[in-house]
Amino acid sequence: MNRPVSLAAACASLSELWSPRVLARVNDQFLKVARVQGEFPWHTHEAEDELFLVLKGELTIGREAADGGAVTLHPGEIFVVPRGVRHATSAAEETWIALIETVTTLHTGSDQTLLTRSLEEQLRPLEPGCAVK
């Protein structure tokens, strides 16, 4: 990264829902962005925390009741799902989010779902000129 990158411009350049794209690496974490709408399946990351930041829209993170139930994030709000907590995300309207995850985190946890994207897919470059200012 040799120039600043706009999180919103990066989201705007994504053509697919629920398909996180890596924007930056900081230490052993990736910062990813995604456009989401509808429901993402329940899953667990046994060994990794996951941080969510909402950029636009509204994201609901369901957690199993023992872990505190659902929370809803609005633009500019963050929330961390600790390792081991089974969770699912949903958005009624189109919502843009940023994520911080360990480079090895599988975004659907140990479950392989129709929405699972490989790390190679997540590392594809964004369309030229869209993300980088």
Binding site for a second copy (CB under 8 A): 1-8, 23-29, 31, 48-51, 53, 55, 68, 71-74, 76-80, 100-102, 133
* Nearer of residues 28 and 120 to a second copy, judged by Cβ: 28
90: helix, coil or strand?
A: strand
CB of 66 to a second copy, least distance (A): 13
Gap between the Cα atoms of 38 and 45, Å rounded: 21
Please name the helix (run of DSSP H) or strand (run of DSSP E) that holds residue 50, with its range, or none.
strand 50-56
> In 3D, which of 94, 89, 74 has the Cα closest to residue 17?
94
* Nearer of residues 18 and 48 to a second copy, judged by Cβ: 48
* Nearer of residues 8 and 114 to a second copy, judged by Cβ: 8
* Nearer of residues 107 and 114 to a second copy, judged by Cβ: 107
Q: Which two tokens stand for residue 126?
A: 């964004």
CB of 79 to a second copy, least distance (A): 5
Residue 33 makes CB contacts below 8 A (sequence gap 6+) with: 7, 10, 11, 14, 20, 21, 23, 55, 96, 97, 98, 99
CB of 105 to a second copy, least distance (A): 9
CB of 128 to a second copy, least distance (A): 18
